[in-house]
Structure 1
Amino acid sequence: MQVFVLDKKKKPLVPCHPARARELLREGRAVVHRIAPFTIRLKDRIGGETQPIRVKLDPGSKTTGLAVVREEETDGEKTAHVLFQAEIHHRGSAIKKRLDQRRAFRRRRRSQLRYRTPRFDNRTRPDGWLPPSLRHRVDTTLAWVERLRRLVPVSELSQELVRFDMQKIENPEISGAEYQQGTLAGYEVREYLLEKWGRTCAYCGASDMPLEIDHIHPRSLGGSDRVSNLTLACRSCNLKKGNRPVGEFLAKTPERLSTILARAKAPLKDAAAVNTTRWALFQALKATGLPVETASGGRTKYNRTRLGIPKGHSLDAACVGKVDRIEGWNRPCLSVKVTGRGSYQRTRLDSFGFPRGFLTRTKAHFGFQTGDRVMAIVTNGKKPEPVPDGWP
């Protein structure tokens, strides 16, 4: 990855090559400002010319892809040079699990010890309110955008806004068969099915192979093209099934049959989470004052497939929006795992939700707290392990 550069007054400059950064550090002209993402600060330069840099986002329910690119346009073609890639792994599911557990404990205590009239309907929620598990995704993504703005001269932002259709935006008059058979035909539905069925064959569970879209109830027998009637199948299973109903094809495996029928009707939970937070993130990005470009998931996959780029959250982010060519995409990717700020509980709870022990008021112990980066130096040979001061 490129190395972020700050001037003497901590103003962001254009990132440089790692070899150039090593040379500046060796000559004593720069110092290390930040470890992750790696940033240096010059000691003999104030200000300078910068180039327009764009931050691209591919929001997801579990992982959000992020890419910093430098764009240049020659002969009407837009080329994106990837400078930095990162994947933010959210903890929304952990937050929801904690809240559900806390809610269950509270209700049990109130119903077991004494009765109190329910008051959960008395509270009013402000406009734009999101559950903590979803608000966490927006806040974490926005925090990284602000962090990059302090390290890179960001001039524009791009976000994958799932329901936007760039083909319709570019040509509002398009309709009918011309619209259905456009360049993005099939990309939206296929990407949805890949996420819903886990990129595996619904009939045999095979993965890491080309998958085909199959009608659960065949079209020859009156089946529709609705997403609830579509699934993914490998080539061999698709040929074996043919135009038979799925009940006849899986007559010997009723458990798999019931699983497929139930999963086909259920919506994609990840898509619901993304659809809930996409507008909140879009409004937060607009509040930064930078121009925000939006694109659909079909446009992202179309760019990735056309350019021969493999699947990846950060690579999807680099393919967001209008782009004709991408260079430098095969760079290392920074993996960011969100750990939270530790526990704020004052007590431990038993299996019935009652306190069984008190916690300390301080969150830092022996000089460490949640979120600290710790490096272990493991030596060779039989040597006694060093014991930190304060340990028994």
Structure 2
Amino acid sequence: MAVCVLDRSGKALMPCSEKRARLLLARGRARIHRVVPFIIRLVDRQAHASRFQPLRIKLDPGSRTTGLALVRDTEHVDASSGEIQRGAAVLNLFELVHRGRQISAALSARRAMRRRRRGNLRYRAPRFLNRTRPAGWLAPSLEHRVVTTMAWVNRLMNWAPVTAVSSELVRFDMQALENPEIAGVEYQQGTLAGYEVREYLLAKWGRRCAYCDQEHVPLQIEHILARASGGTHRISNLTLACARCNAKKAARPIEAFLAREPKRLALILAQAKRPLKDAAAVNATRWALANALRATGLPVELTSGGRTKFNRTQLGLPKTHALDAVCVGKVAGVSVWCRPTLVVKCTGRGSYQRTRLDRYGFPRGYLTRSRRMHGFQTGDLVRADVPTGKKAGRHTGRVAVRATGSFNIQVAGDVVQGIAHRHCRLIQRSDGYGYSRIALLKGDASDGTASLSALSLPAVNDGVSRATG
């Protein structure tokens, strides 16, 4: 990943490579400003003495995960048309995992506790009909998506000299999806025809075959009620099937095809009529996020999800949230995309409530009054060097503290339990996020370059600038 660089006064400079960051630290020209994401601060450079190149933040908003990418805008001439086209040299990739579901569950638990409390205190009347909601109000679980996304956009703007922002104006037109024959639906015409519908179905059916649950295979759009029997193209009559199941079902009624699997038949029929909740959540927050991005004062490019899917398909990039963000907007080529992705999981900063509740709102346990134990707090990034025993070795991750001094450390995909506090060393204080890294992606191109035109992109010097030297 590219390393963000700050000058002596904390202003952003052009990012540099990891190798150059190590040289600057070894020569005493820089100090470590932040560990995750790794940021250095120069001690002998001011921002006014540096040159900058155009950097852009790209976003792929989602209900559960939002993809972010910090890219450098590049230009090259199309060999066929002679026009100048915009490309993207990838610097950093991020995936921001939201906690909207946890917020909704916490509000439900609080509601149960208050209901129980009002049951014990009969004289306390419930509050209702006396609260007003401002214009543009969003539920806390939805507002969280906008707030956390903007928090990381502002962070990247503080760590890098960003000059523009590109984002999906995500929208699923429920009426048009339900009735494709409706007139005036622009995104179902021309080159992008069908991309919105396919993306909606992939999200609704979990990217697997509805008949055999097979994953990671090419999926085809299947009519539950065949067109030969009077079926329509409405979204409630569409599902996904692999080539084998699609050919095997053919024009047969689904009741006859799944006569031996009544449970699967009931699930498919129920899922077909059920709307996609994630699409509704994204629809509710799309304009709030767009207006928040415009408030930054940077030029904002808004585009559709169909354009993103079209770019990713034509460029031949793998399906990830971060690489979807790279494909947002006008992009004719992508270079140096084979980079690790930093997964940022929203964990919160704890709760003021020090009582555990059951599902009925009654207390079932109590937490300690102090959140910090032996100098550590739950969520801190620590490194534990255990010399002996079954857990001997080095463990790095988020810590969960206990009053006894026996901590748990959450490493990549696992939890190491029973680590003594004396073996732990603090790396970074908790900031409300958990960090992990996804390994390098392996693409078809050996240099990680993909382009829509036959003309290859020029060299990009590993996608980072050398201006900090």
Unaligned runs of 5+ in 1: 166-174
Query: Quick one: which of 219, 228, 235 aligns to 1:220?
Result: 228
Q: Does 1:162 align with 2:164?
A: no
CA deviation vs aligned residue, 1:106-156 (integer Å, no higher than 9, x gap)? 223424652755432321111121111111111111111111111100111
Name the CA distance, whole Å, in 2 between partners of 1:298 and 1:178. Answer: 11
Name the CA distance, whole Å, in 2 between partners of 1:129 and 1:331. Answer: 38
Give, in angstroms, the shift of residue 347 of structure 1.
2.5
Q: In structure 2, do the counterparts of structure 1 residues 84 and 118 end up closer, same or farther at CA, with 3 Å as the change threshold? A: same
Say whether the 8 Å CA contact 1:8–1:42 is kept in structure 2.
yes
Give, in angstroms, the shift of residue 79 of structure 1.
1.2
Q: Equivalent pairs: percent with the same residue?
A: 63
Comparing 189-198 with 363-372, which one deviates more in the overlay?
363-372
Amino acid at match of 2:61: P
User: Counterpart of 1:388?
Assistant: 422
Name the CA distance, whole Å, in 2 between partners of 1:205 and 1:164. Answer: 25
Q: Does 1:245 align with 2:247?
A: no
Alignment of 1:179-218 (within 5 A): 180=188, 182-218=190-226
Name the CA distance, whole Å, in 2 between partners of 1:262 and 1:370. Answer: 41
Give, in angstroms, the shift of residue 180 of structure 1.
4.5
CA deviation vs aligned residue, 1:57-107 (integer Å, no higher than 9, x gap)? 111111110000000222211110000111111111111111112212322
User: Counterpart of 2:292?
Assistant: 284
Alignment of 1:1-392 (within 5 A): 1-47=1-47, 48-75=50-77, 76-111=84-119, 113-114=121-122, 117-163=125-171, 180=188, 182-350=190-358, 352-379=360-387, 388=422
Give, in angstroms, the shift of residue 359 of structure 1.
3.9
Name the CA distance, whole Å, in 2 between partners of 1:311 and 1:235. Answer: 20
Say whether the 8 Å CA contact 1:164–1:294 is kept in structure 2.
no
Q: In structure 2, do the counterparts of structure 1 residues 34 and 179 end up closer, same or farther at CA, with 3 Å as the change threshold? A: closer
CA deviation vs aligned residue, 1:202-260 (integer Å, no higher than 9, x gap)? 11111111110000111111111011110000111111111112122112211111111
Say whether the 8 Å CA contact 1:164–1:295 is kept in structure 2.
no
TM-score (norm 2): 0.76
Comparing 187-196 with 43-52, which one deviates more in the overlay?
43-52
Name the CA distance, whole Å, in 2 between partners of 1:33 and 1:348. Answer: 38
Say whether the 8 Å CA contact 1:32–1:40 is kept in structure 2.
yes
Comparing 113-122 with 211-220, which one deviates more in the overlay?
113-122
Amino acid at match of 1:114: R
* Partner SS, residue 214 of structure 1: strand
Name the CA distance, whole Å, in 2 between partners of 1:112 and 1:236. Answer: 60
Give, in angstroms, the shift of residue 354 of structure 1.
2.8
Name the CA distance, whole Å, in 1 between partners of 2:350 and 2:252. Answer: 54
Give, in angstroms, the shift of residue 17 of structure 1.
1.4
Name the CA distance, whole Å, in 1 between partners of 2:54 and 2:347. Answer: 33
Greater share of strand residues, 1 or 2?
2
TM-score (norm 1): 0.91
Name the CA distance, whole Å, in 2 between partners of 1:95 and 1:241. Answer: 42
Give, in angstroms, the shift of residue 356 of structure 1.
5.0
